[in-house]
Chain A
């Protein structure tokens, strides 16, 4: 099953370009977190920023000018609380303007809310936000593609804490039973829940073994290493293969801003002007540090 490339993407981005885009995404996130008065789920946004850039700007076969193209890859943000990070990654890919997000986010009648709504924002694939709901929907979409002999993939991004929901494992069984090699789960393994650090209250380890035991093809990925993300996306099994794949991405909640990293206080919050400057300075420093390495 061959897949045609959609959209006017031209040449695919290099890893260095993707890293620049991820920096831009984080900067925009912080800007929004500093200007919007309500809370932003900044911790879990920053942990998936690289993943979302790798998807929207490299891995996903999509065309922002034709969001209903049946040949497109589907992407479901099961951890719906990272919606704003997805909106910005989508805006940077040309789905809409970043200014639209900044001007209306969280306001009355805005298409851009805390959790994505397919009815209000048709560019997203599913309405999500209640955890544990995305993967079952993704199974349905992947199953439909199989039945119609369509070669696209269905991607679904979950938080690791979210995988405490039993429905995730129901879907894991269903995906394996239906031999959905066109289904790709991506887990943001940031090892933090809202109020606790991973393993302190709920034991997820041996985590890769759990997915393997459910019959999935398990790939471990450094979730902030763009080259590793690109490699994982390049090496996905063919969509017509018979096992779903999970990319377990090791990440850091709050990644890129030193005072937010692995800090339970920054699951969600808003930045004042002073903190925004401090956060931007930290982001710049972490980028400079990376370039030195």
Chain B
């Protein structure tokens, strides 16, 4: 059943995944959905294509291994689950069974970052670092629920594997008007134009960064926001352009370990291309097991919440050349 989406409303990324896969299943008779007992997003797909749906129960390793077997046979398997488990319990299967032969397995899941209040067993905070290290893997982290559908759609035409990271996915703010941006895997989205500083972010913290930008604009700062939803391959040209156009002032905010995620990817570009920065701050999760609390409380506690973002941007803007 088609649903109309409205900009600025809250919507479920899970619903988008379910509907997109149910649609793509018509278009791609070789599309499969595989899940380790996290099939609630896949009800429609399962009902439409019961012979291409497989729930293996609580068994992430075999979920990914089976997906590799399906892909060897010319199918396009989408493995849907919870990322702390898919990215770690099944890491070797992802690396060796999927990436090594470069199979078109799509891994999509929730619980990227300090979300869901499940505690450190249920937070994927190292996942982007792990996935970015894998040969042949494309790595994305999506904040806008509607974008998930577009990324899934684009991924159907990709040869190799892709990792798609979401937050909890039950209720996410629609950030972009349909058609507002040209969304392409591998290209960052300049979501707000500005000249004083660039704030790079992805996933759960995109909406928060928009709020920070509003607050900074109110103080007469011109803030560029880049939704760097593809971490690998990183859009190095955009990083370089932002350095030129925003005075070499960068802030990176992410719901991931501060070292090993987007900030590190950008720092690599800066070093490799010899880009001179005036200021650089990275906000993210420190090397701790974070404990309980809701998303906002945890972001504030660990220094990558709204006020921390505003303060970091002000410090970077004030930095002397």
Contact of B62 among A118, A145, A174 (CB under 8 A): A174
Q: Which of B270-314 contact A (CB under 8 A)?
A: none
B100 at the interface (CB under 8 A from A): yes
B96 / chain A contacts, CB cutoff of 8 Å = 127, 129-130, 133
Expressed in whole angstroms, the Cα–Cα distance for A130 and B62 within the complex equals 14
Residue among B57, B61, B66, B97 with the most chain A CB within 10 A?
B66
Q: Is the interface of B mostly helix, strand, loop or mixed?
A: helix
The residue from B51, B64, B71, B72 contacting A125, defined by CB atoms under 8 A apart? B72
Q: Are A133 and B69 in contact, CB atoms less than 8 angstroms apart?
A: no
**CA gap between A256 and B34 in the complex, in Å:** 44
Are A137 and B68 in contact, CB atoms less than 8 angstroms apart? Answer: yes
Take A171-B62, A173-B59 as given contacts and tell me if A144 and B93 are in contact as well, using a CB distance cutoff of 8 Å: no
Q: Are A141 and B101 in contact (CB under 8 A)?
A: no
B194 close to chain A: CB less than 8 A: no
Encoded as 1 (CB less than 8 Å from any B CB) or 0, chain A from 161 to 174 comes to: 00000110011011
Contact A167 B51 (CB under 8 A): no
Inter-subunit contact A143/B69 (CB<8 Å): yes
- Distance of A206 Cα from B285 Cα, bound (Å): 48
Q: In the complex, what residues of B have CB within 8 A of residue A141's CB?
A: 69-70, 72-73
Inter-chain contact A140/B100, CB cutoff 8 Å: no
Query: Which residues of B are found within 8 Å of A171, using beta-carbon distances?
Result: 62, 65-66
- Least Cβ–Cβ distance between B86 and chain A, in angstroms: 14
The answer on a CB contact under 8 Å between B52 and A147 is: yes
Q: Which residues of B contact A145 (CB under 8 A)?
A: 73
Taking the complex as formed, is A9 at the interface, i.e. its CB lies under 8 A from any CB of chain B?
no
B66 & A137 in contact (Cβ 8 Å cutoff): yes
Whether B73 pairs with A170 at a CB distance below 8 angstroms is no
Closest to B61 in A: A167
Whether B59 contacts A118 by the Cβ 8 Å rule is no
**Which A residues touch B67, using CB under 8 A?**
140
A173 near B61 (CB under 8 angstroms)? no
- B20 at interface (Cβ–Cβ under 8 A)? no
Interface presence of A138 (CB below 8 A): yes
User: Complex: how many Å from CA A128 to CA B154?
Assistant: 29
Whether A136 and B68, one on each chain, are in contact in the complex, defined by CB atoms closer than 8 angstroms, is: yes
- Whether the Cβ atoms of B97 and A136 lie closer than 8 Å is yes
Quick one: which of B47-93 are within 8 Å of A by CB?
51-52, 54, 56-57, 59, 61-62, 64-75, 77, 92-93
Q: Are B61 and A127 in contact (CB under 8 A)?
A: no
| A248 at interface, CB cutoff 8 A | no
Q: Taking the complex as formed, is B208 at the interface, i.e. its CB lies under 8 A from any CB of chain A?
A: no
With both chains docked as a complex, state the minimum distance between the C-beta of A244 and any C-beta of chain B, in angstroms. Answer: 13
Q: CA separation between A177 and B66, bound complex, in Å?
A: 13
Smallest CB–CB gap between B241 and chain A, Å?
36
- How many A-B pairs fall under 8 Å by CB? 99
Task: Indicate if the CB atoms of A138 and B101 lie closer than 8 Å.
Answer: no
Instruction: Known A127-B101, A130-B96; judge A140-B73 contact (CB<8 A).
Output: yes
Instruction: Name the residue of chain B whose CB is nearest to the CB of A125.
Output: B72
A126 at the A/B interface (Cβ < 8 Å)? yes
- Chain B 184-222, CB-CB to A under 8 Å as 1, else 0, gives 000000000000000000000000000000000000000
CB interface residues, A 116-162, toward B, < 8 Å: 117-119, 125-127, 129-130, 132-133, 135-145, 147
Instruction: Give the distance in Å from the alpha carbon of A116 to the alpha carbon of B102 in the complex.
Output: 15
Question: Of residues A142, A144, A166, A177, which shows the largest number of chain B Cβ atoms within 10 Å of its Cβ?
Answer: A144
Report whether A138 and B59 are in contact in the complex, using a CB–CB cutoff of 8 Å.
Answer: no
A130 contact set on B, CB distance < 8 A? 92, 96
Residues of B within 8 A of A119 (CB): 100-102
Alpha-carbon gap, A170 to B90, bound state (A) = 12
A136 contacts B62, C-beta separation under 8 Å: yes
Distance between Cα atoms of A130 and B97 in the complex (Å)? 9
Quick one: which of B51, B61, B62, B77 has the most chain A CB within 10 A? B62
Interface residue A178 (Cβ < 8 Å from any Cβ of B): yes
Residues on the A chain within 8 Å of B100, using CB:
117, 119, 127
CB nearest neighbor in A for B73: A144
What is the chain A residue whose CB lies nearest that of B67?
Answer: A140
Residue numbers in A under 8 Å from B56 (CB-CB):
170, 173-174, 177
Q: Is the CB of A167 within 8 A of B62?
A: yes
Q: Is the CB of A138 within 8 A of B93?
A: no
Give every chain A residue within 8 A of B68 (Cβ-Cβ).
Answer: 126, 136-137, 140
- Interchain CB contact under 8 A, A137 and B59: no
Contact in complex: A138, B57 (CB < 8 Å): no
Q: Determine the distance from Cα of A119 to Cα of B98 in the docked complex, in whole angstroms.
A: 12
- Residues 209-252 of chain A: 1 if any B CB is under 8 Å from the residue's CB, otherwise 0? 00000000000000000000000000000000000000000000
| Interchain CA distance A136-B62 in the complex, whole Å | 5
Q: Give the distance to chain A from B317, nearest Cβ to Cβ, in Å.
A: 49
Distance from A113 Cβ to chain B, minimum over Cβ atoms (Å) = 12
Give CA–CA (A135, B65) in the complex, Å: 8
Given known contacts A127-B96, A170-B59, A144 and B101 CB-to-CB distance under 8 angstroms: no
Q: Lowest 4 CB-CB distances: which A-B pairs, in order?
A: A140-B69, A136-B65, A170-B62, A140-B66
Question: 26 interchain pairs (CB within 8 A)?
Answer: A117-B101, A119-B101, A125-B72, A126-B97, A127-B100, A127-B101, A130-B92, A132-B61, A133-B92, A133-B96, A136-B62, A136-B64, A137-B66, A137-B72, A140-B66, A140-B70, A140-B71, A141-B73, A143-B66, A144-B74, A145-B73, A171-B66, A173-B57, A173-B59, A174-B59, A174-B62
User: Given A127-B100, A137-B68, list of 9 further CB < 8 A pairs?
Assistant: A119-B102, A126-B68, A126-B97, A129-B96, A140-B71, A143-B54, A144-B74, A144-B75, A177-B57
